[in-house]
Amino acid sequence: MLPSISRRACPGRLIIPRTIHFSVIRTFIICSKFPRHYPSYPHPRAPHIPIPRIKRPFTTAARPHETQRTESFPDPDRPDLFYHLFHPPTALSSSAPVYALSFLQDAPRNVTSKTILGWLPAAGQGADGAGLNDFKENPAFRVLLHEALQSALKDNVDEVQRNGAIQTQQGWMHINDERNVPALGRIGDPDDILASVRVEEGKILAETYQPMPSYRLCTADGILQLSEGLARRLKERLAEEARIENKHTG
Radius of gyration for the chain, computed over Cα atoms and rounded to the nearest angstrom: 20
Q: What is the pLDDT along the chain (250 residues), one digit of tens a residue?
A: 433 333 333 444 333 334 444 444 443 333 334 344 444 444 444 334 333 332 333 333 334 434 456 689 998 889 999 999 999 999 998 899 999 999 999 999 999 999 999 999 987 544 355 667 789 999 999 999 999 999 999 999 999 999 999 999 999 999 999 999 998 878 999 999 999 999 999 999 999 999 999 999 999 999 999 999 999 999 999 999 999 999 987 6
